[in-house]
Amino acid sequence: MADAKREVERKYEATPETRLPDLTRAAGVSSVVHRGLTELDAVYYDTEDFRLAADSLTLRRRTGGGDAGWHLKIPVSAGIRDEIRAPLADALPPDLAGLLRSRVRNTPVTPVIRILSARDIHHLLDENGTLLAELSIDEVLAERLTEEGHGTTSAWAELEVELADDGDPAVLDAVERRLRKAGVRPSAAPSKLARALAETEPEKPRRVRKRLSPQDAGDHVLAYVRRQVAAVIELDPAVRRDLPDSVHRMRVATRRLRSAFRTYRRILDRAATDPLRGELKWLAGELGVGRDQEVLETRLRSDVAGLPDTLVLGPVSARLTLTSVSGRAEARRRVLSALDTDRYLALLDSLDALLADPPLGPDAARDPENALPRAVLKDYERLATRVGHALEQRPGHDRDLAMHEARKAAKRVRYAGEAAGPALGKPAKRFAKRIKAVQKVLGDHQDSVVTRDALRALAVQAHGAGESAFTWGLLYGQEEAAAADRERELPEVWAEASDPALRAALKG
């Protein structure tokens, strides 16, 4: 994978006459050292319909300066981006191409803007000579690139202050106070590329916006679906970079989509959404291998850490590490393989097509206050049946299976309630919160079932290798007791979630 760097910077308007104030009066800054001038030449790439710019991503090939090469910048929050760098090459490096795949699919990226910058660099240092931030004043010339060659141009000056690696953001605040006092104002454009695109865009006839009609049930469900599709696409690069919790969050987005298509099938025609549900189930399954392995490993390590040293017999930690490393490697291989398939890209295209031309069902035009509760409560009735069935079973395998089925139903009802939240307000949020508590009890129970299966396998492996299986057996018993606790807890939690007043409030 290419190198990654967290970029924290602020941009300001400047003119050729802009003069820096005395920044040694900014808290923490002891000296300002001029590092000279450098010439930068960057060509920015995007699809023909500017998909990267629409998501505030920038992809460039830059020469000059100390970091020549390919740079992909992914927004994290206001003023903060992750910059992924790859060595200078004629073609886009495969690592960066992979991080773009969820946005561009099979569409090529081509040069769209060339930016030439004359950069005057200053280093802000503390009393020990440690770099706090880099300040640069850039004279910028931007040119739009077209199929015919050269397009319109724009020129401006700007000032950037970029925090040093592991620096304190308070430095940026202190510097900004001095700049503002000197009359320097923050830039209206978030990046050079954004400004260049705006200022070199060919003139187009103004369009008269149509007045939006009042929101109906279809509007609310589509807004929810749109958020989940965006989450899948945005999390794709994070999963490829193996960022913490990214696989879990992407999997949750796929599950929320499946749930919405299932619950609101009278609002979005199931003839169109059922095939998508099948593909989303496949993707969630591929993502789930890694997530399930992560959850299992965390639980096992927590269980072992909770034992007194005298009860940990044999190479328990070593065997657990061996199993975990092997499982993580296989899970990551499967996830990356799935994201590189044509099947995955076709799924993303199908989701885009659904949002572009929604297959509205018979309830789509109804008031959300009527249509959404009806769909949510239908899912609730299915959950009530499954919980009742689980509570009727004797402890053992059949109850484990029944509680697992109830857990899946609870998750669907919770997602349905959350999706209805923007339309139904607090009643939907309270309902979803109570159902989430039921889901947690059932989820903890299922985690114990899965963990017991893993502990039995570890005990067999240990015994076969001539190691003591005592600790694995002890942990198995603890997990069995934990599952029994969740079974005893379920009736009370379910009684609170199934309060008729909660359902009545949904209907207004």
- Mind listing the pLDDT tens digit for each residue in 412-462? 999 999 999 999 999 999 999 999 999 999 999 999 999 999 999 999 999
- Mind listing the pLDDT tens digit for each residue in 27-82? 999 999 999 999 999 999 999 999 999 999 999 999 998 889 999 999 999 889 99
Q: Which amino acid is at 334?
A: R
H or E element: which one contains 216? none
Exposure on the CB side of residue 413, measured as CA atoms within 13 A: 32
By the 8 A CB rule, do 113 and 142 touch?
yes
pLDDT at 210 over 60: no
> Mean per-residue pLDDT for 469-497?
96
DSSP 23: G
Mean pLDDT, rounded, of the chain: 93
* pLDDT given for residue 294 in this prediction: 80
> Mean per-residue pLDDT for 382-402?
95
By the 8 A CB rule, do 228 and 256 touch?
yes
Burial of 290-318, coded b for 16+ CB within 10 Å and e otherwise, reads: bbebbbbbebbeebbeeeeeeebbbebee
pLDDT at 382 over 80: yes
Nearest-angstrom CA–CA distance, 279 and 261: 12
- Mind listing the pLDDT tens digit for each residue in 84-95? 999 999 999 999
* pLDDT given for residue 1 in this prediction: 54
pTM of the entire predicted model: 0.88
* pLDDT given for residue 149 in this prediction: 64
* pLDDT given for residue 147 in this prediction: 77
Nearest-angstrom CA–CA distance, 303 and 483: 14
Burial of 31-44, coded b for 16+ CB within 10 Å and e otherwise, reads: eeeeeeeeebebbb
* pLDDT given for residue 324 in this prediction: 80
By the 8 A CB rule, do 69 and 76 touch?
no
- Mind listing the pLDDT tens digit for each residue in 274-322? 999 999 999 999 998 877 888 888 899 999 999 999 999 999 999 988 8
* pLDDT given for residue 254 in this prediction: 97
Cα Rg, the chain, nearest whole Å: 28
Nearest-angstrom CA–CA distance, 391 and 388: 5
Q: Between residues 508 and 364, which one has the greater pLDDT?
A: 364
* pLDDT given for residue 211 in this prediction: 41
* pLDDT given for residue 292 in this prediction: 82
By the 8 A CB rule, do 452 and 480 touch?
yes
Strand partners, 143: 114, 153
Confidence at 182, pLDDT banded by 50, 70, 90: very high
**Domains defined along the chain, listed by start:** 3-200 (2.40.320.10), 220-506 (1.40.20.10)
- Mind listing the pLDDT tens digit for each residue in 314-359? 999 999 888 887 778 888 899 999 999 999 999 999 999 999 999 9
- DSSP labels, 339-376: HTSHHHHHHHHHHHHHHHS--B-TTTTS-HHHHHHHHH
By the 8 A CB rule, do 193 and 113 touch?
yes
Helix (H, G, I), strand (E, B) or coil at 144: strand
* pLDDT given for residue 19 in this prediction: 82
pLDDT at 208 over 50: no
> Mean per-residue pLDDT for 358-379?
95
